[in-house]
Amino acid sequence: MNKSESPIISVKGVTKRFGSFTALQDISLDIRPGEIFALLGPSGCGKSTLLRIIAGLETATEGSVAIDGQDMTGIPANKRPVNMVFQSYAVFPHMSVADNVAYGLKLERRPAAEIREKVAEALAQVHLSDFAHRKPDQLSGGQRQRVALARALVKRPKVLLLDEPLSALDAKLRDAMRLELVKLQESVGVSFVIVTHDQSEALAMADRIAVLKDGVLRQLDSPAALYKRPVDRFVADFIGSINMFAVSGQRAEGGQARLETAELGAIAVPSDHLPAAGQGALTLAVRPERVKVGAEAPKEAQGEGGLVSVVGRLGDVAFQGNSSIVEVLLEGGGSLSALVSEAEADHLMQAESGSPITAWWALDDMLILPENATAA
């Protein structure tokens, strides 16, 4: 991505209040040309509101949105160079598929021949050419969504906004559609902004993801960075699965900090591992695939950082196909899970449930997270 390229959408300091309720708190972010950008968060986090503010269907209480360098303040939805695919698709039920797609062009008073050509092209793009004269109630959910896509794309928007585009589809169709949306984006080249509450969806499709919670932007990064370097406990927990241990006490000891946890006991970490910003109690976190299990931990440390190990009892082993999740019941209460290979799982299955087992991981693989990295 070319850093010097100017953003196609620039959101600056957007705050939205509904009465006394703050739906969005001082959001600033840039969307680059040609990328798939996901707004991710649990329901009620304000992600849909932000999308609607970009579309002009909602006005921001404070702050501004610029599209392609132009300030959009005061410009209504019907005059903005962005188009939206709605959660319910909002395909007009009384118009045929072709009429739905043509509607936006007709409003622009384009010549009939041009409209016909563009509609045919758009329908071909979403593989609906044979359905042009059907009514929406003769289409499946997936087909209706393609109509909504074609209808928005035929207007050649600078950015396509998609509000929970896959949530109304069944699981199997959803996976196929993910791939298809990515392909479609590559072929048309315009930026997609996708609102979703499904982290796996965002990870699979997006070039960059903005994680929102309670109207606050918690982290904006690439999927890999979000997974590997979540800035706080919420992001780590929301993206992928992770073992977490609350830190109950903390003491500085030379260049090191001793962190007390109920499950792991006291663990010494270099002071510079501690998060620079944020507030609230610390949490230690480690991804299941970083955790190893065995009869006992290796004696010498691998890497520079050393090892963290903990003794527990073997719990359930959940088969996952090419790998298994092993549950380790900890002495201090609670449990942790480890992702192990099939061979390891077979070996572990022979041990009796409840037999002693050790789990360990490299100190460098362990994240030390604040409760909230952004709060002042």
* Contacting positions for other proteins (CB under 8 A): 18, 23, 43-44, 48-49, 55-57, 76-79, 83-84, 86-88, 90, 92-94, 103-104, 107-108, 137, 148, 151-152, 155, 197
Range 22-26 contact pairs with CB under 8 angstroms and sequence separation of 24 or more:
22/215, 23/49, 23/215, 24/49, 24/50, 24/53, 24/60, 24/215, 25/214, 25/215, 25/216, 26/62, 26/63
Nearer to other proteins, 18 or 319 (CB): 18
Nearer to other proteins, 53 or 339 (CB): 53
Using DSSP's 3-state secondary structure scheme, residue 124 falls into helix
Nearer to other proteins, 87 or 309 (CB): 87
- CB 160 to other proteins: min, Å: 11
Distance CA(349)–CA(353), nearest Å, equals 8
- CB 197 to other proteins: min, Å: 8
Residue 165's alpha-carbon distances to 5, 147, 180, 207, in angstroms, are 28, 12, 12, 17
- CB 82 to other proteins: min, Å: 8
Nearer to other proteins, 137 or 352 (CB): 137
Nearer to other proteins, 93 or 354 (CB): 93
- CB 268 to other proteins: min, Å: 44
Distance CA(283)–CA(264), nearest Å, equals 12
4 burial type by CB count under 10 A (0-12 exposed, 13-18 middle, 19+ buried): exposed
Nearer to other proteins, 92 or 319 (CB): 92
Structure tokens at 200: 């796996």
Nearer to other proteins, 151 or 292 (CB): 151
- CB 151 to other proteins: min, Å: 7
Tell which phi-psi region holds residue 273, choosing left (phi > 0), alpha (psi between -120 and 50) or beta: alpha
- CB 54 to other proteins: min, Å: 11
Say which residue the tokens 């609350």 belong to. 246
Distance CA(166)–CA(171), nearest Å, equals 9
- CB 43 to other proteins: min, Å: 4
